[in-house]
A and B are shown apart, each in its own frame.
Chain A
Amino acid sequence: MRGFLVLRVVAKLLMPFMLVFALYVQFHGDYSPGGGFQAGVIIAATMIFYALIFGLPVARQLVPEALVETMVALGVLIYAGVGVAGLLLGGNYLDYFVLAHSPVHGQERGIFWVEVGVAVTVSGVMLKIFYMFAGRQRSAEDE
């Protein structure tokens, strides 16, 4: 794919827009269709697109394996952490009412952090699975 000039130039132009769109879907998910899952998948799709055009080793340099594996676990930790924060601030587990000075603000803050956790895990897992499938060599006894 590296020899095709049009593909490389268009990919480099499109990628920032794809990432901004993913962030838009994430943060505007309260007012329009969207949310954590869709944003996480779009981020992973952007990185997969990059890996398809420029090659897997270059993509691995841009987003290293250690970072992706950390993201996989970090999202679940953020989500569970919001629950524990609810516990520490005096309410039940995953209680959003106590997270801020008023219940409605607490709900908004809780929903925000929960969706961030979901997006981080989903994008990490999808990208990691792609790395594992694409990075595996065909076994020697194949044609």
Chain B
Amino acid sequence: MIVIVLLSLMAVLTFGIALQRNLYAVVVLSGAYSFLMATALVALDAVDVAMTEASVGAGISTVLLLGALYLCGGEEAKPLTRPWLPLAIALVIAGALVYGTLGLPAFSDPTAPIHTHVVPRYLHDALRETGVPNVVTAVLASYRGYDTLGETTVVFTAGAGVIALLRRLRRRKDGEHKA
């Protein structure tokens, strides 16, 4: 099925990102990874999320990474020792997580707990109560409006933080520039 093909391609790309040392190539690979993720999300019926991932992950992230790369330099240094310990840690964590997922419901199981509680009410009543057919927008803006207010504040804080970090104050005191 298409999801299996896409997810396998994403896994291959991740190995490429881990092993590649030229950072421009790594940024291009991460952009390709985001596009594959957006396509996989469409195959999983998450259309709003796919649009956001394609525009934010493959668009804005790639632009910001290239901007930072221009300012920082493009090659990663060769590691001095073979990273056996991090690889072992990663494999142990992977084993523990795989053991943990054995108890989770199978893919596309209609009796999974995720489809109970509040979701049938959203799907049934969203159009009648809010007048908006797109249930994701209704939940985002109306049923869970506080969370979206918090998220907008987080985006604002990120903007303010970047301004604070990267602003250049053009003050000349005794001939010195404050960067």
Contacts and interface: CB of A to CB of B under 8 A. Distances in A.
Q: Do chains A and B touch in the complex (CB under 8 A)?
A: yes
A33 B48 contact: yes
Interface stretch (B80-88, B93-101, B113-121, B153-161): B153-161
Bin the interface of chain A by size: 35 or more
Contacts of B73: 142
B163 A132 contact: yes
A42 B156 contact: no
Interface string B149-169: 100110110111011001110
B148 to A, nearest CB: 7
Given A76-B153, A79-B152, A110-B142, A124 B159 contact: yes
A96 B71 CA distance: 46
A104 B65 CA distance: 43
B123 interface: no
B20 interface: no
A29 interface: yes
A126 B60 contact: yes
Contact of A121 (B59, B140, B155): B155
A132 B167 CA distance: 7
Given A34-B48, A72-B159, A111 B137 contact: yes
Interface string A75-91: 11001100100000000
Contact of B52 (A41, A76, A138): A41
A11 interface: no
A26 to B, nearest CB: 11
B89 to A, nearest CB: 33
A56 B81 CA distance: 43
B156 A121 contact: yes
A32 B134 contact: yes
B52 A38 contact: yes
Contact of A37 (B52, B130, B132): B52
Contacts of A79: 148-149, 152
15 contacts: A25-B51, A38-B55, A41-B52, A42-B55, A76-B156, A107-B131, A107-B132, A108-B132, A110-B142, A111-B138, A125-B158, A129-B162, A132-B163, A133-B68, A134-B67
Interface of A: 25, 29-38, 41-42, 44-45, 48, 69, 72-73, 75-76, 79-80, 83, 94, 96, 103-105, 107-108, 110-111, 114-115, 117-118, 121-122, 124-126, 128-130, 132-134, 136, 138, 142
Interchain residue pairs A-B with the least CB separation, the first 8? A133-B67, A125-B159, A33-B47, A107-B130, A41-B55, A111-B141, A132-B166, A30-B132
Given A72-B156, A130-B63, A142-B73, 5 more contacts: A30-B134, A41-B55, A107-B130, A111-B137, A136-B168
